[in-house]
Structure 1
């Protein structure tokens, strides 16, 4: 008589692979949702009003790309990383499934606002990030690894910005929906700054077999401090003139450029998994400079300046990191296939096409639509290549 099959057997892992760790559902569903969101937004710009979402199309586009798409990726990354940081079991199984469900229901009610009263829609959408913050904080507190507890307050700050957007459906409040959206973008920049400083030099050294760049403590502290100041500055919450606000943003941009310059981009040029990260950090830094220049001189528009960050910085970095994490945590070699290299190039192209309306204003609409299509193509490639990987258990049978 044989003993019952253990719950950790490969067949059991296969059954529950989708909820084995947070990166699997949040990266997969987040990428699909992002493609759908951009597709619906491009359709609306082309004149096809296919949806009537909560807050109107413009609000929905801003909100869902930040608090739907980006928030899902950030939570998937952090709840996966905390397992490595703390050596504690990661959120998985039914609790992870419930958290994914909260995120998913939020997306549905935002898209179909007639289902529920507006206040209830806002509450349902709001719940996701605080619940994720609790899930992140518990293992960190358990092992007293206080250095990593900072990411829980970042998720709670994101929750607060989400509440601000919902509190201003008309766009005319003290903290406008656009100011809250800008605050969220800059908070994501701060998160990129912190995580990038921790891992990009290490990734570069390991991936190129070259010595790791020694950080300059004063530069690290000054970069993070000024980048953090960009959040209230970009939301016009500081008692400062537009010129002073612009100086804060440009200072952060210059310090981030200096920082990424020291990470030796040249040695990473032969490795798509590395140059994609470096270029994303460069474009994020340049975006801060452009927002500052907009504040002080009116050069470019706020929309173009922020889209340099959201496409070239945030979206490219997300694409590079979800690829790396998905490969590493499923026991595969961290190496870009031609399709993924193509996805990186498509995202770079999307960024530069989105800047072109500055010099071709008469073609602005079609250039914006082309940039959106390139964005969709990049993440569609990720979904095509990685959805089967995210849906199946690790080949070596290891949990995760």
Structure 2
């Protein structure tokens, strides 16, 4: 299964002297040498387990009584448990590349991962632990991650990338609001908070996608990189950011205006994705999957606009286009390529990685399109949850040798 995953990419390999020196001086456990290793693997494992529990509870009636109730737990843990773990793992790894300052590793990384794991465990044990202990443990994670991210950026004075620190803090604030909704249900709706978080993550995906997807397309297909249209880039990002603000419902905005903004955001991002030429990527799974995930985000935004305009009534399908089709596909694809690239391996999908990407796309279709065609939501949730668990479970198995072992070239990280 892992022969191709073990291939080393020669252009990314350091000189033999550097490799030998790095290998001889770094005695730490490889799993905690950079943040992507534990957060990607544990995050993927957790998502498989949590969606299996949720789908079995919803569709088969399996008992599930976590903190906040089963629906709160499902929304919270997929967004503030799974998604934030992957985002933090990615950012705390990328910041080393951006700044050339050594990334979080060793004991500080172990402590951050342990905090995240404790929060996931505590959320499942509401009858054994005080509610304040559960919420406090969970709420500490994102502010600490933001602090670890800010330190090397400030040290290197790389102000452009400081943008991601307030984004993490905004996510922390939304997490606080979601916990507060349990004690103030009349003034705060945890569903509304979760929807804002979905749109904030969509904004992050749009920002990151615009930065790297054209480059990945050019490199992966050996074609010319598409030059951005500045006005379209700004329109796509600004309208998506406006969708986040509108979802907060701080001011009363007419549904027609709100729907128009969401629809414009969907169209602008779809136009942006169209220019990246998905058709040239069809032979490169780790690139077409990224394109497809961006198309899913665009679809979700457009559908939300149609919901506000009274043309489309399936709000859940619109949000799940962003979560399953956008986040689910993009995260699996990005974890696969980042894990290979940051361990000195060839960034290419073997048959198992390709199959996992096809399965997660099928999960997206089952969760979003199937309920529109067949009146069988319980079956749709059970099927899509099982497909997600299978796709991410394949990542957990196939990438364990990559994430738990040292780089084959001997370099640190």
TM-score, normalization by structure 2? 0.92
CA contact (8 A) 1:233 1:248 kept: no
How far, CA to CA, are the matches of 2:235 and 2:93 in structure 1? 29
**What does residue 347 of structure 2 align with?**
334
Number of aligned positions between the proteins: 394
Q: Does 1:351 align with 2:364?
A: yes
Q: How does 1:380-391 map to 2 (within 5 A)?
A: 380-391=393-404
Which of 81-90 and 366-375 deviates more? 366-375
User: Which of residues 96, 110, 135 is equivalent to 2:109?
Assistant: 96
User: Which of residues 155, 179, 187 is equivalent to 2:200?
Assistant: 187
**What does residue 253 of structure 1 align with?**
266
CA contact (8 A) 2:290 2:329 kept: yes
How far, CA to CA, are the matches of 2:402 and 2:61 in structure 1? 35
**Alpha-carbon distance, 1:241 to partner:** 1.6
Query: What are the Cα deviations for residues 228-261 of structure 1, in whole angstroms up to 9, with x where unaligned?
Result: 0111222333431222211111111010001011
CA contact (8 A) 1:202 1:212 kept: yes
5+ unaligned residues in a row in structure 1: which ranges?
Answer: 1-6
How far, CA to CA, are the matches of 2:128 and 2:157 in structure 1? 43
Q: How does 1:270-309 map to 2 (within 5 A)?
A: 270-309=283-322
**What does residue 12 of structure 2 align with?**
none
**What does residue 212 of structure 1 align with?**
225
**What does residue 72 of structure 1 align with?**
85
**Alpha-carbon distance, 1:14 to partner:** 6.4
How far, CA to CA, are the matches of 2:297 and 2:235 in structure 1? 17
How far, CA to CA, are the matches of 1:359 and 1:87 in structure 2? 51
Query: What are the Cα deviations for residues 166-196 of structure 1, in whole angstroms up to 9, with x where unaligned?
Result: 0011683333101110011000000001100
Give the SS at the match of 1:385. Answer: helix
CA contact (8 A) 1:105 1:124 kept: yes
Which of the pair has the greater relative contact order for Cα pairs under 8 Å at 6+ separation?
2
CA contact (8 A) 1:280 1:317 kept: yes
Q: Does 1:111 align with 2:87?
A: no
CA contact (8 A) 1:13 1:393 kept: no
How far, CA to CA, are the matches of 1:8 and 1:124 in structure 2? 39
Query: What are the Cα deviations for residues 32-91 of structure 1, in whole angstroms up to 9, with x where unaligned?
Result: 000010011011013343432100000000000000000100000000000000000000
CA contact (8 A) 1:171 1:178 kept: no
Which of 238-247 and 347-356 deviates more? 238-247
Give the SS at the match of 2:306. Answer: helix
CA contact (8 A) 2:22 2:412 kept: no
Which of 172-181 and 160-169 deviates more? 172-181
Query: What are the Cα deviations for residues 362-396 of structure 1, in whole angstroms up to 9, with x where unaligned?
Result: x2211221111111111011111101210001001
Q: Does 1:241 align with 2:224?
A: no
TM-score, normalization by structure 1? 0.95
C-alpha distance 285-171 of structure 1, shift in aligned 2 (>3 A): farther
Q: How does 1:8-157 map to 2 (within 5 A)?
A: 10=23, 13=26, 15-157=28-170
Which aligned runs of 4 or more in structure 1 are off by greater than 4 angstroms? 11-15
